[in-house]
Amino acid sequence: MFILGFSTIPNTSIFAESDDDNDGDGVRDKDDKCPTSFEDLNNYRDDDGCPDKDEKPASDILKMIPIIALIISFSGVAISIFTYNKTRATQAYADLDNLYNMGILKIGLDNPEFRNKAKTSKYLDPNIFSEDKRLKYETYAYMAMNICETAYDRTRDDMKNRNTWDNVIYAEKELHGEWFNAEENQHKFKTEFKDYVKNLAKPN
């Protein structure tokens, strides 16, 4: 119905919500916190109408979590292996020290002639050692030099402990050199160790 040429239907456009989107990012200006800046469409706060600046999308961070966890796991394993090897090496040296101190030196205290170079250098002389005593001494000399060879093997890459054990090896070499160099005992030790003992000078 028209009255005086004017429509009686109200103009409702002035009450409608604006559909304007000045920056063309799909977020209407009335909801756009940054109406003149284009929204980064990356599934990260895509409804605020603002660019994400330097913030890392949550989806990318989530994708990195398994990688980060894997790196941490490998690091943990590496540290565990290092700690285990370090602990095992320390324990090995402690075992050798105990074996030498509580074994070789203790037997030597109970049998002082076994620690007397004047006697051990003539161990085959029946006037020095009876046959029974000689057999015991030969077993003792073998034990002492065997521990020295084990220490030599275990300190190949550890010069700090090698220098410590060189004092022991030299002392045992001086005591049991006659027995160690005897032809019948050569097969009991590795050539590398025999050469090392032969050329070992007195440590400073």
Amino acid at 157: D
Rounded-to-integer distance, Cα 70 and Cα 41, Å: 30
pLDDT of 112 higher than 50: yes
When pLDDT is averaged across residues 110-126 and rounded to a whole number, the result is 95
Q: What is the mean pLDDT of residues 162-180?
A: 93
Domain boundaries, the chain: 96-199
Higher pLDDT, 9 or 175: 175
Most confident among 2-11, 88-97, 105-114 (mean pLDDT) = 105-114
> Torsion-angle region of residue 24: left (phi > 0), alpha (psi -120 to 50) or beta?
left
Mean pLDDT of 122-138: 94
**pLDDT tops 60 at residue 196:** yes
Report pTM: 0.57
- How deeply is 2 buried, as exposed, middle or buried, from its count of CB atoms within 10 A (0-12, 13-18, 19+)? exposed
